[in-house]
Amino acid sequence: MVITDPILFIQGALTLSFTLISLILGILLILKYLRYKEKQLLLVGITWIFLTSPWWPDSDWRRNYLFSRCALFFPC
């Protein structure tokens, strides 16, 4: 299976953008906690970051492909 398959490329790009946006939102919520000292902002920020953690390996598909020459979700 070649990684240049359009479906794999779209999945990787969308997963990468989803995880980056979620990470940024979680960090912004944690920074708001530092300003306003409301515990809920800290807990929601941490929860938001870790709720997206199952998508972290899929968002790193380019590096995995460069080192192993096969996609993470398909056997070589």
Dump pLDDT digits (tens) for 2-44: 455 677 778 888 898 999 999 999 999 999 999 999 999 999 9
CB contact set of 12 (below 8 Å; sequence gap of 6+): 58, 59, 61, 62
pLDDT at 57: 81
* CA-closest candidate to residue 19, choices 57, 55, 73, 44: 55
Structure confidence at residue 36 (pLDDT): 97
Domain residue ranges in the chain: 19-68
